Amino acid sequence: MRGFPIFLDFETAIPLINGGTVLAAAKARLLLSRASKVTVFAAHLDAAFDTMVAAGSIDHVPRAATADDIKGRVLVISATGSDAEDAPISAIARALGVPVNVPDRPLLSTFSLGAIVDRGTVTVAIGTDGAAPVLATRIRAMLEQELHPRLGRLADIARDYRDAISTKLPQGAGRRAFWEAVFGGAPARAILDGDEPAGRTLLEAELERAGTAAGALGRVVLVGAGPGDPDLLTLKAVRALKSADVILHDFLASDAVLTHARREAEIVSVGKAKGRHSRTQAEINDLIVSYARQGKTVVRLKGGDPFMFGRGGEEIDTLRASGIAVEVVPGITAAMAASASLQIPLTHRELSRSVTFLSGHKAGEGGAEFDQVDFRALCNTRATLAIYMAVSTSGALAKMLLDAGWSPATPVMAVEQVSHASERRVATTLDILALSPERLGLTKAAVLIVGEVASLDPAGAVTRIAAETQNHAAQESIHG
């Protein structure tokens, strides 16, 4: 976009409109949403101006504007509908360095008027550089539904406390954490619900707390980053990322997800993966606490969901023991994302009555992760298994299932890089997985879906691995 968005102050300078047309009246009404008065130069005013004239909002000068009239104006709009009349006004304004707009005439204009969402003190302007005004209008309609009607009052009340807050809280993470607690918590909810006295009381209590030793602590948000597609983030997760002073992320949090972070945020990789442990869990816990004790808002960003094989429970325990406020924002876990991508349900009235989520991380080390899992019982109840972190141990896991009585023909669907552009799906059976796991060609993070639901026709391309004793079509790519 070539134009740079700014907000002009109409308190000390009155805007000028040249022209008395219906279009000029529409522009006058727009300016009067912020200006107390508008000067209109025109030999005659259309009836569309009548209510504004009656309200005393218009100073009408019954002639065309001149250079002396334009000099020193904050902005000028010429809307006579005639290029012969508008072009000279545009030339004068340009020569004097006054911003000028001629509606639908970009070559005669130095600024454009965006679509506006007006919430009093809070204003949102949408511009498309003149390329698609209707699109700007559609975006405005969407924002009108999203932004609370009382948002401006929330800003007004916040302004009432700015001096007191500046005196009590120095500029920095502590003050930022205070405002995050106000706008994201009970004070804002009360004000937006129309109970301003309660909102002020809650805000003052938050300010009192912020000035104590406990208030000097920051807060931590455990955020589920989902499987990688940034469109699968929850709105709450996006808000947390935008409020963070520090983001500690693992290897499964994609770069696209991290684009939602504030430019000023410190971004720290604390990922752990097989064969490349950058930090122990204890070191990560200590790091989270250290940042929070500096009064910072810390987001611990985890692939999938924080409580699905993410060791979020250990981090919660550490934070509670340290007296640090913590919040959890759930995320879409890989198995659910894979199910949606394949359009295959994890439970099915005829094929599967339950789903069990398992970690395959230690399946090749004696099956330590599965000591409490009765695979034989699951087999007998037609269960679906959703297995994480089993790329290197899938063969050993498949053998355990076979030993527990699972049918060698049990369908298996492996989904690698779930929700990424490089997502890859491989279908096979349990006996092939046990005998030759390398045939699946899995090298990156994948989730295995084991059970009869994996036999359902998937959406999109799938590579099928069949027994080598069959014909030359043993391995083929198909489309569901």
Q: What is the pLDDT of residue 478?
A: 46
Is pLDDT of 85 > 50? yes
Write down the pLDDT at residue 12: 82
Closest CA to 100 of 111, 92, 115: 111
Of the pLDDT bands very low, low, confident and very high (cuts 50, 70, 90), residue 252 is: confident
User: What number is the average pLDDT over the span 356-378?
Assistant: 69
Mean pLDDT, residues 362-383 taken together: 66
Of the options 3.40.1010.10, 3.30.450.190, 3.30.390.50, 3.50.50.60, the CATH number for the domain spanning 219-329: 3.40.1010.10
For residues 57 and 35, give the distance between their C-alpha atoms in angstroms, rounded to a whole number: 9
Mean pLDDT of 148-162: 94
State the pLDDT at residue 215: 59
Of 69, 86, 250, 431, the catalytic one is: 250
Q: What 3-state DSSP class applies to 427?
A: strand
- The pLDDT tens digits of the residues spanning 422-450 come to 999 999 999 999 999 999 999 888 999 99
Angle of CA points 183, 175, 152, to nearest 5°: 35
Q: Which whole number is the average pLDDT over 352-379? A: 72
Higher per-residue pLDDT: 295 or 32:
32
* Catalytic residue from among 37, 236, 272, 362: 272
So what's the pLDDT on residue 36? 92
Mean per-residue pLDDT of the chain: 88
DSSP character for 212?
Answer: S
pLDDT at position 438 is 92
Q: Mean of the pLDDT values across residues 246-269?
A: 88
pLDDT more than 90, % of the chain: 60
**Residue 216 banded pLDDT, cuts 50, 70, 90:** low
Asked whether the predicted pLDDT for residue 311 surpasses 80, the reply is: yes
**Residue 210 predicted with pLDDT over 60:** yes
Measured distance CA(452)–CA(429) in Å, rounded: 10
Yes or no: domain 16-113 corresponds to CATH 3.40.50.720: yes
Task: Give the pLDDT confidence score for residue 275 in this predicted structure.
Answer: 54
Please compute the mean of the pLDDT values over residues 316-334 and round it to a whole number: 92
Closest CA to 77 of 17, 33, 121: 17
272 is catalytic: yes
H-run or E-run covering 412: strand 411-416
* pLDDT exceeds cutoff 60 at 474: no
Q: What average pLDDT score do residues 109-136 get? A: 87
Pairing of strands 446-450, 411-416: antiparallel
Residues 6+ apart with CB under 8 A from 221: 240, 244, 297, 298, 299, 300, 326, 327, 328, 329
For the chain, the structural domain boundaries read 16-113, 151-210, 219-329, 335-479
Which among 14, 47, 49 has a CA at the least distance from the CA of 29?
Answer: 49
pLDDT of residue 479: 44
* pLDDT for 373 beyond 80: no
Contacts of 146 (CB under 8 A, 6+ apart): none
pLDDT at 363 over 50: no
pLDDT at 104: 87
For residue 480, the model assigns a pLDDT of: 45
pLDDT at residue 117 in the model: 92
- Is it the case that residue 30 has pLDDT exceeding 80? yes
φ, ψ dihedrals at 276, nearest 5°: -150, 65
Tell me the angle at which helices 151-160 and 173-183 cross, rounded to the nearest 10 degrees. Answer: 140
Q: How far apart are CA 448 and CA 416, in angstroms?
A: 9
Neighbouring CB atoms inside 10 A of 62's CB total 11
Length of the chain measured in residues:
480
* pLDDT the model gives residue 376: 83
Q: Is the pLDDT assigned to residue 181 strictly greater than 80? A: yes
pTM of the predicted protein model: 0.68
Determine the topology of domain 335-479 in CATH. Answer: 3.30.950
**Has 245 been annotated as catalytic?**
no
At residue 298, does pLDDT exceed 50? Answer: yes
CB 460 within 8 A of CB 480: yes
> Got the DSSP string for 213-259?
TTTTS-EEEEEE-BTS-GGGS-HHHHHHHHH-SEEEE-TTS-HHHHT
Amino acid identity of 329? V
Residue 3 has pLDDT above 80, yes or no: no
The lowest-confidence range among 63-77, 360-374, 388-402, 435-449 is 360-374
The pLDDT, as a whole number, for residue 213 is: 58
> What pLDDT score was predicted for residue 276?
55
Residue 51's pLDDT band (boundaries 50, 70, 90)?
A: very high
